[in-house]
Amino acid sequence: MRTRPGTLLAALLSAVLLVAGGASSAVAGTGAGSGATYYVSLGDSLAKGYMPGQGDTDQGYTDRLHTALKAGDAGIEHIKLGCSGATTTTLLNGGGGCTYAEGSQLAAAEKFLRAHRGKVRVLTIDIGANDVQRCARGMSLDFPCVAEGMSTVGKNLPVILKRLRAAGGPQVKFAGMTYYNPSLAAWLAGDQGRQFAYLTSVLQEVLNGIIGSSLRVKDFRVADVAGAFSSRSYTPLVPLPGVGQVPLNVAKICQLTFMCTRQDIHANPAGYQVLADSFAAVLKK
């Protein structure tokens, strides 16, 4: 069994959409004094800490990262701008069920960054998965749709990152992330599922390549969440309770997300901690 590229597309494609929800702007009403510092987070349902049965929570990776940041700056405040269901298009232009007084998630972030220039210490973002979610139907993919979605990410993400950098200035530590691969859970469905997992591995590697290269070009640090979830590692085989021997990447998806228990792509508390740790590691550099 050979190691194949990492995987995210199909499941991340479909389930993040389940999370459509509004996000009101967190820019207003911080109530902090002149000595306050800030961590600003943007993104989709992962940035909101969504979990099935609970909705958006305060236990997501951005909340956990905020706790870690407070160890070095006890007064740092978290400005949580993410929106469940966000795409690069809605983050850039607004719409899609996300409501901000400034018109879009990006505009809200820009306004806050400019109003608190020099006081924002960290900004994180995860975005791009929902741009291709509509392309998945069960264990099949609409390839022209996938290509269009990836093209949209490649067009919109550099614009988003450039504007954030311009608004934030040189003192901000900027970071984004690659995505893990929830669709690896299809491996457990037999031969068809294994073929689907391999296929989405290739496509997810492309998507993560677009995201990663866009981040690096704009001097954003890259949290390798795909690597932390061993998304590319079809070997070695490891035991999965109740199932038997499975590839390492499949085991990680079952252990760190709700895919194998509730068929939901979102991270569980342990998975959100892995995301937070991935960001914390690159922010230390």
pLDDT digits (tens, 9 = 90+) for 222-258: 999 999 999 999 999 999 999 999 999 999 999 999 9
In a domain, 245, yes or no: no
In a domain, 195, yes or no: no
Q: Is the peptide bond before 236 cis (omega within 30 degrees of 0)?
A: yes
In a domain, 197, yes or no: no
pLDDT band of residue 96 (cuts 50, 70, 90) is confident
Domains identified in the chain, total number: 1
In a domain, 259, yes or no: no
* pLDDT surpasses 80 at 29: no
Task: Give me the CATH number covering residue 32.
Answer: 3.40.50.1110
Please, are residues 109 and 162 in contact by the beta-carbon 8 Å criterion?
no
- Per-residue pLDDT tens over the stretch 106-122: 999 999 999 999 999 99
In a domain, 246, yes or no: no
Domain that holds residue 173: 9-180+208-227+269-283
In a domain, 242, yes or no: no
Question: Model pTM?
Answer: 0.88
C-alpha span between 43 and 7 (Å, rounded): 20
3-state secondary structure of 78: strand
Residues 19-26 have a mean pLDDT of: 38
Buried b (16+ CB within 10 A) or exposed e, 1-12: eeebbbbbbbbb
pLDDT for 2: 36
In a domain, 1, yes or no: no
In a domain, 196, yes or no: no
